[in-house]
Structure 1
C-alpha cells in the first residue's frame, strides 16, 4: 500500500526515510485532551513562518493552539534574522498563549520556554543543555558550545472585548542536521550532540508537556518568577552566568562585564570593570572566557 502524501506537499514525506514525517494524529491524541493547555494541534508540510501564521489568526484562535511545520521557508529569529533548514530535519513549532499576569512579567515567557525545552531535551534525548541568555539553548558538539535551539516571543492580537494579551511563542530545534547542513559554523543539532534519539514525535511531545507544566505553574503564581521556581531553574541552567560576556546593545553600543545574576525582571546583570552592576534587558550576548579563568585562558565558544 502506498503511503499518502502530506496535504499540500508535492513530495512524498517518505522520500527521506531517515527523516519521517510527524504523526499529527498521534500528537493530537497525546496532547489535546480535556484539562490540557493545548486546545488544537495542526501540522503543515511547509510554511513561511509558524509564528507569522499564528500571529495572523490569533484574534480568532483559542489559547493553546499549536502550529507545527515540517519545513519553514522564511523562518525568523531574534532581530529578524533569517534561517532555513532541510525539511523534517528539525522541530518548528509555535504556540498561542494568553497569560493573565502583570504585563511587566511577560518578559519571562521566552526564558520560561528555554527552561522547558532544556528540561525536555535532557530527559528525552539525553543531551547536556545550557541556556544562553536570554533565549538560546546550547549543546556541546566536539567540545564546543553550539546553538541548537532558538526561541522567539511575539505579541499577538486579542479577541474583541478580551483584556488578556496574546503571545505567540515560537521554538526551533535543530534535530537531525548534519555538519554540512548547519546554517552557521556556531550551530549544532541533537544528532551532532550524540542524542539518544532524533525521533521528533516523542521529542515534540516532551517539549509541549514541559512548556505546559512550567507555563501553568508560572501563570498560577501570577507570573512571579521566584514563587513559580522559574527564576531559580533558569539561573541553575544558564551558561551565561559566571562568565565574562560582551553585550551588544541597541545603538551600536557594547558593554563588557561578568554576568552575575538574572534579576526579577529577567534582565541580565553585568558587573563591569568600574564596579558598577548594570542591568541588560535586550541585546546580543557573546560569551567570552569564563570569569574565573586566567588571562591566558582560551576564549570559550558561543554567541550567535
Structure 2
C-alpha cells in the first residue's frame, strides 16, 4: 500500500470576484475559500440540532456503500427514515448511511433564508441547491457529476476530507464504462496500488473542509468525500462554461443514462459485472500495464 499523488488545494480566507475568475474559474482550478459564509445566517445556525429542529419530521432518502446492483434505478435510495431518526443515528457513532443529492431546501423552505448565492462570476442555478449528510467515517465513492456543472461545495458542522481529480486523469481512474463512477472497490482513502497500479500515475488534489468553508470544484472533476465526523454540505451549481462539457452533459443525461438502464434490464447483473471488468481491462490496455 502507498499513497496517491495528491497536492493540497490552495486556500484563502477571502477572494475577490476578479481574483476567483482570473485564477480559478477561467483556468478551471480548484480552491478553498474559508470565510465566504461568514455573513450567512447558516454560519451560526447550521448544525445537526438545528436541522433536526426544522426538518426532523421529513422522510429522507438514505444511501450506503453497497455496490451498484442491476435492479436499482439511477440514484435509487437504499433506505428511508425520518430526519430526526437519522440525526440520532449520526450522533451515536459511525454509520454508512448518507443523504445524497437531497433538495431539502425545497422540502424545508425556512432554510432558504439561511444562505446566499455568492457573486463569484458564476451564474448559479437557483433551483438546484442540493444537500448531503454523512456520519463518522462514511465515504462517498469516487464519481463525477452527470451534468458537468461547476460546483461551490460548502461544508457545515463537522469536517470532511475531499479528494478530487481533474477530468484529464480519467485514464488512470478505472472508470466504469457507461457510468459516472470508478470501480467501487477502490478505497481512495487507502488505495492498494499493487492491485490498482494505474493510480500510481494519477495526479490529484486534497483538502479538509471545516465548518463554513467552501471548495470550488471545476467542471467534470472527479470527487471522493470522506466524512471525518458527522456533518453536512450544500452544493451550489453553475452550468458548464465549455461547449464540449455541455455536450458531454447532454449526452450523459439524454443518452448514456437511458442506455445503461436499458442494458441493466436486459442483461441484469451480467451487465454490471461486465462493466466492472472492462474498467480494469480498458485502463490497463490503454496504459500498457500487464498484470498476472
- The TM-score normalised by the length of structure 2 is 0.30
More helix by share: 2
More strand by share: 1
- The TM-score normalised by the length of structure 1 is 0.29
- Relative contact order, higher structure (CA 8 A, sep 6+): 2
